[in-house]
Amino acid sequence: MMRTLLKSAITAVCLLGLAAPVAAQAPGVDLKLNPRIGLYTPLTDLNDSSPGDVVDTYKLDNSLAIGLGLQLDFGGAWGVRANLDYATSSSVDTEDGSISDTNETTLLAVVGDLMWRPLPRIVVVQPYLFAGGGLKQYDFEFEGATPGEFEKQSDPTVHVGAGVDLGVGPINLNAELGDYISWLELTEDDSKVQHDLFVMVGFSIGLF
């Protein structure tokens, strides 16, 4: 996971290098860096099981989340963003809490978002919506016997959500709610829609 996180950080740096000349030369175009911190909370279980199944229903717990966005605003209602969100170790438990070993997973999502501000700034507040897509990776670590379907997985993901900017001087505070939607493949014949919610707060710094 650390290797994947490093590669994603390098990708963000490369995007910064490509976007900087555009922001510097085009009037009305702003490049912003947006670090964030918050809560990761899964909205769905990892799998479904019926009475008598060998594999129980596995659930994820909430965990700390950190994020980083690199946003290019075009001076109007629209912008684009390269976005990285990382959920720190989240414990994996059975539905009845009977599992005895320590099992956990981390989650890394790297996406590109289209940003839209449907309303002008009202005093210091401006809402925004975003939608995009990219990749989402689960990295499972089971200390006991690892169920065969729970392995490291990288899946395409859709990213949708909303947020609000609070303009305070040269630094904008922001809070946003984003859902990463993917299809988690449990077995060769079974997949399930997975919703992973990130509730984040942070600030934006203009780079150019």
Confidence of residue 201 (pLDDT cuts 50, 70, 90): very high
pLDDT (0 to 100) of residue 145: 52
Task: Tell which residue, 71, 59, 65, 4, has the closest CA to residue 39.
Answer: 65
Dihedral (CA of 110, 112, 118, 124) sign = positive
- Between CA 172 and CA 76 the distance in angstroms is 16
CATH of the domain at 69: 2.40.160.20
Mean pLDDT of 188-206: 86
150 has a pLDDT exceeding 90: no
pLDDT of residue 93: 73
Amino acid at 195: H
Q: What is the pLDDT of residue 154?
A: 87
Mean pLDDT across the stretch 162-191? 83
Nearest residue to 177 (alpha-carbon basis) of 157, 150, 195: 195
Structural domain total, the chain = 1
State which amino acid sits at residue 179.
Answer: D
Beta bridge partners of 115: 79, 130
Q: What is the pLDDT of residues 5-14, one digit of tens each?
A: 445 544 554 5
Label the pairing between strands 58-60 and 190-206.
Answer: unpaired
* Six-digit token string for 27: 């009037």
Segment 181-199 shows an average pLDDT of 82
Owner of token pair 């990892």: 46
pTM of the model: 0.80
Least confident range from 66-70, 86-90, 108-112, 146-150: namely: 146-150
| Range(s) of the domain holding residue 76 | 2-206
Q: Are 67 and 81 in contact (CB under 8 A)?
A: no
89: left (phi over 0), alpha (psi -120 to 50) or beta: beta
pLDDT at res. 6: 44
Measure CA 121 to chain center.
26
